[in-house]
Structure 1
Amino acid sequence: MGFPNDFLWGGATAANQCEGAYNVDGKGLSTADVMTLGSHTQKRKRTQDIDSQYYYPSHQAIDHYHHYKEDIALFAQMGFKVYRLSINWTRIFPNGDEEMPNEKGLEFYDRIFDELEKYHIEPLVTISHFETPLGLQKYGSWMHRKVVDFYVRYAKVLLERYQGRVKYWLTFNEINCMSTMPWIAAGIVSEDEQSKMTAAYHQFLASAKVVLLAHQIDLHNQVGMMYCGHFAYPNSPNPDDMISTMNFMHDMLFYCDVQCRGYYPNYKLKQLKREGIVLPIQKGDLDILKNGTVDFLSYSYYFTHVTGEKTKGIYKGLNGIDTGYQNPYLPVSEWGWTIDPQGLRYSLNLLYDRYQLPLMIVENGLGAVDVLEDGKIHDQYRIDYLQQHLIELEKALTIDGIPVMGYTMWGPIDIVAASTGEMKKRYGFIYVDIDDNGQGSLKRYKKDSFYWYQKVIQTNGKSLKEE
């Protein structure tokens, strides 16, 4: 009973949200580097290039590039078994289409893996996490099939360079964000459905090719997909609401269907035909998709939606997706996200019933305003949130028999929030003294939740049930 002995406890970050050093050691510009600061009520802007009138949070972030030893040592103090990180594509290929990689960029991640090995922390590497090279805009980014080859070349460099050092890989972060945030997901300017579905197809193809390549390079490699955890309850038992919720989940889950099953589901093919959308399929592609299915399914879980008949076509919102409904039974965070621990157990069952693949929660956490007083941060609200979710995860393991590989809490150290670009929306166990405008000492402080999570890992989850 309880968590298995080999359960992978840890945390997760993204390069563009923590590293900073955006133009150091040959790094090129990515889509993340031209996203401005936003807020709870104002969307981030996308600029053509660096504009001095705006502040770009990714340029400095928390300067993990120069603080990685300190940060990884703090992760080790908590007892991390695994650390999910992403490689910054433009550190390796500054424009995305070079023939040869940037050695300085590869050396940085060599040093990261050296530190993780020192503390016996397993890396889980996301190959592309919301930072497509800006240099690929001349091709139309993921709209063009050439970008598939550029991505595969990039992934091949990583797989060969870090062979034996990295076993767990994710091809794309939250790939279904193509439907909701195409610029962030893939550097796509056009938001029409044909553009999004063309780009998604190319990412599916690229992912499948990399799965095949990873297995060819090292049989120990395990490659997963990463789903942005959108899960919905119908607004009522009215059949119209039920069908609308089914359609909403189809729009999200078809991404998993392709990567886990190796083909487009019939409901998606019918929809594409009705809407006159043509996929850029070439000879041999369907075999690649079929043979390049992922080894496991990972996903983020922050909230659940309520959907219904009036949800039709509403897939945009400042923080997640605005479906037109609210759940009266659930509290919300300071940023308006529902807090639904039981939904985590529901989501695990839904995904395992559908795919029968090992699962991993690679993002889960609470964004909140933390107050630093006398060098301490008392974040009982974060402890309560995580404890409630982990108890439901344990139920999925022990009651439902769901094979869950591990849990990497999102933002174990405070990082830039992807949705708003803010620092004040903090997730971490570790507080970083930096504000929304990049002002502060960058000093790291342990929050109360740091010691709580340390005990959770030390006891392999047994402490979750302590009063």
Structure 2
Amino acid sequence: MRVVLLCLLNFLIGSDGFTDTKKRKFPENFLFGAATSAYQVEGGWDADDKGKSIWDTFLHDHPEKIVDGRNGDVGPDSYHNWRRDVEMLRELGVDFYRFSISWPRVLPTGFENKINEKGFKYYDDLIDELLKYSIQPMVTLYHFDLPQELQDLGGWTNPLSVTWFEEYARIVFKRYADKVKYWITINQPNTICIDGYGSEAMAPGINAMDSGAYECVKNVLLAHAKAYDLYQKEFKKKFEGNVGISIAVNWYDPINNSTENAEAVEKARAFQLGLYLDPIYSKDGDFPVLVRQIVDKKSKEQGYSASRLPKLSPQEIKLLKGSVDFLGMNHYTTFLVKPSQQEYQSPSFEDDVGVEYSQGEQWKPAKSVWLKSAPYGLYKACIYLNLNYDYPNIIITEHGWSSGPGLRDNSRVDNMRGYFGALLLAMEDATQVKGYTAWSLMDNVEWTAGTSERFGLYEVDFESENKTRKARLSALVYKNIIETREVDLEWKPKNLKIHISKNDKKNNYKAEL
């Protein structure tokens, strides 16, 4: 087993991917998939007795926050177009489809005493259709859309949210454990908590900068651990599925190698990565020591009698440690870090971290202002996980690229190929990556960006009655990579027509990691 020294990395990977010429292939048991989330694609926001989610409320109350004015009320309307969605997955030839269940669609009030069978039927039909064609469902239990009635009780800042989520998870596990072998409890705690409770950027937009974000982090992580423990005790032996959590693992590099920048990037990694990974993967558990030291010190200076970062009890630490079968790694880009030259509002998460982020001027930009292509960062992030968290089992549960409308999305193809190159090199250097998930299967409602940023392998005509989907160039390139298991930089399709393979895969899928 060997690990390439990070200081020599740029000799092997440039900003666009490989610079060497070695041929690398994905192993035959490597899994390829595509992803969406409920709010972003389903539509049907009030159909068939669905309850309100915090995103329904947030964007209905604040339409001015949406770049192009299009919210998720209808979107691609997968609630009515799910058969076409499965057909697209068949066209690509993927092994699995990662989608999320809308908590308020199946439990309109958030509580287990009111189960919406009409809402569950949508997922019944979708899962059965996937399995009919040997496409494995990878189900995310929570992808940002908390029932509004639970938010009215404090949402993720209420310690009872841990129990609410566990009860919801039990209902879904009971219904689908015999059909679903891969589960993701919660998607991106940092987005839920820092952007949703520590700012106004995402729903519910609470902006509780003092302690709300950290209370949310604790409760979300414990909710995940409770759901994981529930599956292990009640479902694992019989159904042998795997349960993980999806964490945003973008990469953070110092803007240069000065001592002050090295210290800044250490803080960035502790707050952006370690805050969520350490309680699960580190030897001692708990939140990172550096985060604890900084927040404790600042809290005292700010006049608080106790730290704004809540403590984890010995029982909670024990519950969290090892509470995954795999790490869902959402990776999009890399940031360059230096100490902050500005004053942030205090108290706040930004003030606690105290750093500034930028990106390389030479890196190719996407449509999203925060997204630039830097494939080397994926490699570095993988090696960081290996060295700090003992070579965890990983599934890339999101990676993607935003563009404008149009079928010939060459920038997405370039990004995909570059990052696949970096991923293959990371796997060559002992990273235990078991699968890759393209974000996303189709254009969707990209939260407050609306449909101004397109992440889809398939373009959606949002103006058409049936929300027509058409394959982009990237869909055909992805299909070719899945079929050949390698990244051919020269391969081009003859046209943009795509068809379902005559040789549908047989269901010889194994859930073991």
TM-score tier, shorter chain, comes to 0.7 to 0.9
Aligned counterparts of 1:60 and 1:427: Cα–Cα separation in 2: 17
TM-fit CA distance, 1:142: 1.1
Distance 1:156 1:188, change over 3 A: farther
Distance 1:34 1:116, change over 3 A: same
Q: Given the alignment of the two structures, is residue 206 of structure 1 paired with residue 223 of structure 2, yes or no?
A: yes
Aligned counterparts of 1:389 and 1:246: Cα–Cα separation in 2: 24
TM-fit CA distance, 1:149: 1.1
1:323 paired residue among 356, 373, 387: 356
Aligned-residue RMSD, C-alpha: 2.7
Q: Given the alignment of the two structures, is residue 196 of structure 1 paired with residue 213 of structure 2, yes or no?
A: yes
TM-fit CA distance, 1:365: 1.2
Distance 1:311 1:345, change over 3 A: farther
Q: When the two structures are superposed, what TM-score results if normalisation uses the length of structure 2? A: 0.80
Deviating more after overlay: 99-108 vs 28-37? 28-37
Deviations for 1:234-289, whole angstroms, at most 9, x for unmatched residues? 11222111101110111011211113344323223323422222526568433322
Q: Given the alignment of the two structures, is residue 408 of structure 1 paired with residue 437 of structure 2, yes or no?
A: yes
Report the number of matched residues: 443
TM-fit CA distance, 1:55: 5.0
Deviations for 1:70-102, whole angstroms, at most 9, x for unmatched residues? 111111111010111001010111121342421
Q: Which runs of 5+ in 1 are unaligned?
A: 46-53, 372-376
1:459 paired residue among 459, 476, 484: 484
Task: State how 1:51-450 maps to structure 2 within 5 Å.
Answer: 57-178=71-192, 180-183=194-197, 187=204, 189-219=206-236, 220-253=240-273, 254-261=275-282, 262-274=285-297, 275=299, 276-277=307-308, 279=310, 284-290=315-321, 293-310=323-340, 323-336=356-369, 337-355=371-389, 356-371=391-406, 377-398=407-428, 400-421=429-450, 423-434=451-462, 441-450=466-475
TM-fit CA distance, 1:139: 1.4
Aligned counterparts of 1:409 and 1:313: Cα–Cα separation in 2: 37
Aligned counterparts of 1:116 and 1:108: Cα–Cα separation in 2: 12
* Code of the aligned partner of 2:277: C
Aligned counterparts of 1:330 and 1:37: Cα–Cα separation in 2: 36
**Structure 1 vs Structure 2: percent identity of aligned residues?**
27
Aligned counterparts of 1:301 and 1:418: Cα–Cα separation in 2: 18
Aligned counterparts of 1:206 and 1:289: Cα–Cα separation in 2: 10
Aligned counterparts of 2:60 and 2:403: Cα–Cα separation in 1: 17
* Code of the aligned partner of 1:329: Q
Q: Does the CA-based 8 Å contact 1:141-1:186 persist in structure 2?
A: no
Aligned counterparts of 1:284 and 1:339: Cα–Cα separation in 2: 42
Distance 1:197 1:76, change over 3 A: same
Deviations for 1:173-203, whole angstroms, at most 9, x for unmatched residues? 1112245312477746142241111111111
Deviations for 1:25-57, whole angstroms, at most 9, x for unmatched residues? 11111112134399xxx8449xxxxxxxx9551
Deviations for 1:305-337, whole angstroms, at most 9, x for unmatched residues? 1110126776999xxx99353323322223222
Aligned counterparts of 1:461 and 1:369: Cα–Cα separation in 2: 27
Distance 1:441 1:124, change over 3 A: closer
- The aligned counterpart of 1:5 is 28
Computing the radius of gyration from Cα coordinates, the structure with the larger value is: 2
Q: Does the CA-based 8 Å contact 1:122-1:166 persist in structure 2?
A: yes
Q: Does the CA-based 8 Å contact 1:193-1:277 persist in structure 2?
A: yes
Aligned partner of residue 139 in structure 1, secondary structure: coil
Aligned counterparts of 2:35 and 2:54: Cα–Cα separation in 1: 20
Aligned counterparts of 1:255 and 1:26: Cα–Cα separation in 2: 35
Q: When the two structures are superposed, what TM-score results if normalisation uses the length of structure 1? A: 0.88
Aligned counterparts of 1:239 and 1:334: Cα–Cα separation in 2: 34
